[in-house]
Amino acid sequence: MSLSTQIAGRADVIIAGGGVMGAATAFFARQLGLSVILLERDLVGQYASGTNFGNVRRQGRFLQQLPLSNRSRELWGRLPELIGEDVEFVAAGHVRVSFKEEDSQRLEKYAEDCKPYGLDLEIYSGRQAVDRFPMLSPDVHLASFSPLDGHANPRLAAPAFARAARRAGATVLERTEVLNISKNSEDFVVETSGGQRFVAPQLQISVGAWARKVAAAFGEDLPLVPKAPQMAVTEPVPYRIHPVIGYASWVEEEGVYLRQVERGNIVFGGGRRSTVDLEAKRARLDPLNTLRQMPHMERLLPDFARLRIIRTWAGIESYTDDDLPVMGASSLVPGLFYAFGFCGAGFQLGPGVGATMADLLATGQTEIPLAPFSIARFASAAVA
């Protein structure tokens, strides 16, 4: 039997991984006329993309991420018209709150540094902060407000992109595990758990915390550590907190954050991250971390201590040693592309990553600077 008769599907690009990065890339690639096969081992959006906090923020990002983040924010504002679905994006702003002078100085410096990148922040000190955001504790030292940021529902985003990609003509296959990837002179050949083979001249790896093994198979190993951020949600209370609020501290345990949805529940997370078993595909939920979050949440919102917690959960994310993602073309293999390792800050970037990776796949170039995210930086570090 010839190879061609064994092939279950052929496309311009195969995308491995159905999180928000892979699903958004599939959608935007279809808009640029590429044929696409999206392969997801389990369910679209099941891992980090569907279990994260839902922060749609530009504030606080590494400055070199802001061009990508700005592009993504523009797309977030147009998602209903682009993909035909509402993912509950609310542009109610994002507040970072400090209680110590040194943390306030960092916020003020960042507000200056990010201006050339098109991010304008509002700074409120002391009593001004409480007057502007009356839900906050009276001992707030400084608040930095990004009025165009917001939050969305992470359970909805990746599946909505995948459905839109399918409606646009992409092949989207769930419960289809990639078992082997090889490359001949022209194409990547992807073998899956169903005994099927899929073929394409271009391949994008967006499998999150499991990406290190795939990249290493192509000679591009890198430090990638899986971690489990932990979130929880309270009982519903009257809807009064519109922006996302985060505790701006460089002490890990203090770094908590929260948002309230229109139904009244307050979603919160932060602090220490727990461990992950990649083989079992399980994140460890640590009840002690929820208890550790409480005093810091109460410091942000004095009334928080009165609320009942109704659910807790943890997700699976991946972190590089420089806290920057891996995104762009392989440094060794023509036709191979990466978009993974977003270090707990990828949800907001999802639409922008998808549009930018689609540009690369369709034209070989993009206006978004991607050099800081190249996988080649790890090879350079190893040599050094």
Q: Please say if the pLDDT value at position 384 is more than 80.
A: no
The per-residue b/e assignment along 280-295, b for 16 or more CB within 10 angstroms, e otherwise, is: eeebeebeebbebbbe
With tokens 């969305």, the residue in question is 152
Q: In this predicted model, what pLDDT tens digit does every residue of 195-236 receive, in sequence order?
A: 999 999 999 999 999 999 999 999 999 999 999 999 999 999
Question: Which of 285, 33, 328, 42 has its CA nearest to residue 158?
Answer: 42
The whole-angstrom separation of Cα 140 and Cα 301 is 10
H-helix or E-strand spanning residue 124: strand 122-125
- DSSP 3-state of 7: strand
Tokens 């990508």 label which residue?
A: 68
First-last CA distance in the chain: 49
DSSP H/E element including 144: strand 142-146
Tokens of 292: 């550790």
Q: In the prediction, which pLDDT does 1 show? A: 34
Q: Can you give the residue ranges of every domain in the chain?
A: 7-51+155-221+322-378, 91-149+226-319
User: At 21, is the secondary structure helix, strand, or coil?
Assistant: helix
Predicted confidence at residue 149, as pLDDT, reads: 98
Q: What whole-number distance in Å separates Cα of residue 297 and Cα of residue 259?
A: 11
Read off the pLDDT band of 3 (50, 70, 90). Answer: very low
The Cα–Cα gap between 66 and 72 comes to: 9
Mean pLDDT of 31-60: 96
CATH 3.50.50.60 fits 7-51+155-221+322-378, yes or no: yes
d(CA 259, CA 245): 6
Please give the average per-residue pLDDT across 55-83, as a whole number: 97
Measured at the CA of 167, the angle between CA 171 and CA 179, to 5 degrees, comes to: 20
pLDDT confidence of residue 194? 85
- Topology classification of domain 91-149+226-319: D-Amino Acid Oxidase; Chain A, domain 2 (3.30.9)
Sequence-separated (6 or more) residues with CB below 8 Å from residue 262: 90, 239
pTM: 0.95
